[in-house]
Copies of this chain bind each other. A is one copy, B any other.
């Protein structure tokens, strides 16, 4: 047996107590890549959990400046090793090196780490709330145990379990992280982990602040998220695996934040196509095929009014889909799911406009695929026709009239995004009927542009009602709100002033912290 790549537990790279092994596959050649990675047994999991619990106690007593310094140094170290990290991610995911990996996703990732560092120093994310009349003060603080992060296959950096948004948020709240690598890109994750633990040692954080396991079997994974000493879990990935982990975590009373599938409905009101069909065709094709459609906010369902305008739209999109080069899919798993997803949609009544079969070639690929179905047919099986086919596929629902449009929207499940394209003026009254229905079903509502592209903004909501996520009140992207997922509410009642955490003492630490004192937000000191 080849030597297994070591896991990172308690600050040490050590031989895994493995129950099996696996290799990463280059999706462009279908060949295994060097490096044999361990499937960790319960022993590894339990050791990382106890290490994290001890680290959590130490971190709670660590000055936040130090945690901020770690995040900043980590970002710098990743940038310094950019070429090697990008090359590895390219081999493991097939995503283009430039611009995607090198000029877009990596800077976004280090940008997130730096934003998290600023949030940690600023402390406003803790929402300090002071009631001087009753002598009660509260803020958000760390959870007191390890946070488990499961990263998805489609963002090897920005959502990586040891470098992405959930990681940054959990660390910023003051929790240690146990990262479970995505098995599609273990080598990328390993390189990131090397820089993470390097930055941990350099800045003197507890050794077990960052730990890395590559894989576990399902049963061990369920034990991990439901363990007594685990504080919470962040999971981004496929629905079925996510729901299995949710069940285990829920039963143990452990918070779990999920980002599952989403088909991101786009509603085209008639005026939009009439006024600027060409532009919309272009926006849709780019949004749908970018990254071979492998985005959580990919526009997978488009609702248009049947008629000659939309037939024109379809025919122009079809031409563009047929002409566009085929991208590489992330893995054989993605290809299989996509193939099955399209087959299921066809079986439920969708028809092929374009594509609909394997892409051929050396790597994993599938034709750029456009499907269509009538509103009536959709309404006969709304659940089946909302099945996500993750990748370069979109389904057009052709509705007959306004009332069928509204009926279709009422059948939608929870989604991350919902988009309404409308004319400059003429669609206002229809918009006012469409919006209230769509609003309650999506986390982010857009006008007049496609949903791909998730800005790291304090106002962003990368979340939405179940089953897009597990709770409609939380976002996975956008600091400071994403940090509060991994925090508990700490209330101090009649606690002596010198014993309070700095953000709740009379004096504003640093003078920049925003606090809600007696009903008003202020950066002033508290005059108790």
Contacts and interface: CB of A to CB of B under 8 A. Distances in A.
Interface string A355-385: 0000000000000000000000000000000
A495 B447 contact: yes
Contacts of A144: 439-441, 465
A472 B447 contact: no
Contacts of A472: 143, 255, 488-489
Contacts of A493: 417, 444-447, 449, 451
Given A431-B499, A499-B435, A514-B520, A455 B489 contact: no
Nearest to A514: B521
Contacts of A444: 491-493
A255 B60 contact: no
A391 to B, nearest CB: 24
Interface stretch (A22-30, A97-105, A129-137, A178-186): A129-137
Interface string A463-476: 10111001111110
Interface in A125-162: 129-131, 133-134, 136-138, 140-144
A426 to B, nearest CB: 14
Nearest to A139: B459
A429 interface: no
Most buried by B among A253, A466, A520: A253
A267 to B, nearest CB: 13
Contact of A447 (B466, B475, B499): B499
A506 B253 CA distance: 41
A60 B436 contact: yes
A259 to B, nearest CB: 13
Nearest to A253: B466
A484 B473 contact: yes
A471 B140 CA distance: 13
Given A253-B466, A472-B489, 14 more contacts: A129-B458, A131-B459, A134-B459, A250-B250, A253-B470, A417-B493, A431-B499, A435-B499, A445-B492, A446-B494, A447-B495, A459-B491, A461-B489, A481-B489
